Each structure stands twice: as structure tokens, then as C-alpha cells.
């Protein structure tokens, strides 16, 4: 059984759909925060990248304004918390890289700091010409919305490209 090369079908309306040349997705972004939903999103992004010959960028954002009451006002502890977060994320990114290599998928990653996570992610999407996003429905943040996380909602509503939200 031979697999056919995936085709990109575009519909201008429900009566007019055509196959066009070019891959439907070349650069897949996975916003990654090590939450269970992010792991599921990476799995699906890996499948899509393998299927369509795309590459994956995993992007994490460490919030620079997060301060727990027990560390607030103690700069050394605040810096230590941020450094530990980056180290943990970096270790996870290395694991994602190994899994992508295992399946022959090109992979890169970036860890950024920002106080505006969704807005920073949207800027990244535009700047790096992301054409498909696979993200978890809720992150690890302490304040979660009932049905869908704030960052997921903001990115999905404002992204210039399609967003697939994984629960």
C-alpha cells in the first residue's frame, strides 16, 4: 500500500473546492508549557509535521511578572524561581527535540520571557511566518477559565493562521 502525497484543498465557498500546489502547512508552532494538554498537542503536531513534511517550533514563555506571596519582595528567590522555570522548560525542549529526530521531523525551540504571554505569542506567530498552530486547551497557570484557557482563547481568536486546540 503506497501513501499518496497529501494535497492542499482550498474552498472559496461550499460549491468551489480545488487542489492547489504547495503544502498546507510548512511551519507548525506548538506553544509549550509542559502541561498535560501541551504534551498531547506536541503528539498531534508531530503527526501533522511528519504527514505534511512540515517543521515544528516549540515556544515557551516564562511570565516575568509572576510573584508568589512567599517570594514577593525577595529578588534572589524571584530570580531563582525564573531560572528554575527556564531550566525545566529547556530540559523538556531537549526531550521534544529527541522525539522529533526519532521521526525525522525538523524541530527548533525558543524560550522567551514576557509579562503578556498571549500577545508575545501572537507577535512570534507573525514574525516567524507560522502557518499552523497546535496548542493545548489550558496551560499550567494558576488562574484557569472554566472551558478554555485565556492564552488559548486569545491566540485562537487573534491568530493570522489556523489554530487547532487539543484537550
56 — phi, psi (to 5°)? Answer: -115, 135
Amino acid 147: pLDDT: 39
Task: Quick: pLDDT tens for 103-162.
Answer: 999 999 999 988 888 899 999 999 999 999 999 886 555 444 433 578 888 999 999 999
Entry pTM? 0.80
The model's confidence at residue 71, banded by pLDDT at 50, 70 and 90, is very low
**Continuous H helices in 6-35:** none
Domain 24-166 in CATH 3.40.50.620? The answer is: yes
Task: Quick: pLDDT tens for 9-43.
Answer: 888 899 999 988 777 789 999 999 878 888 899 99
Q: Grid coordinates in use for 140?
A: 499550567
Domain ranges of the chain: 24-166
Amino acid at each position: 500500500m503506497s501513501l499518496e502525497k497529501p494535497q492542499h484543498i482550498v474552498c472559496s465557498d461550499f460549491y468551489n473546492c480545488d487542489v492547489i500546489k504547495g503544502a498546507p502547512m510548512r511551519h507548525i508552532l506548538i506553544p509549550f508549557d509542559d502541561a498535560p494538554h501541551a504534551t498531547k498537542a506536541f503528539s498531534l503536531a508531530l503527526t501533522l509535521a511528519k504527514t505534511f513534511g512540515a517543521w515544528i517550533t516549540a515556544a515557551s514563555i516564562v511570565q516575568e511578572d509572576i510573584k508568589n506571596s512567599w517570594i514577593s519582595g525577595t529578588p534572589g528567590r524571584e530570580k531563582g524561581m525564573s531560572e528554575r522555570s527556564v531550566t525545566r522548560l529547556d530540559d523538556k525542549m531537549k526531550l521534544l527535540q529527541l522525539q522529533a529526530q526519532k521521526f525525522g521531523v525538523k524541530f527548533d525551540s525558543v524560550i522567551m520571557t514576557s509579562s503578556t504571554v498571549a500577545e508575545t505569542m501572537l507577535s512570534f506567530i507573525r514574525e516567524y511566518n507560522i502557518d499552523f498552530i497546535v496548542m493545548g486547551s489550558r496551560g499550567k497557570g494558576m488562574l484557569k477559565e472554566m472551558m478554555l484557557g485565556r492564552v488559548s482563547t486569545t491566540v485562537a481568536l487573534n491568530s493570522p493562521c489556523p489554530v487547532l486546540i487539543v484537550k
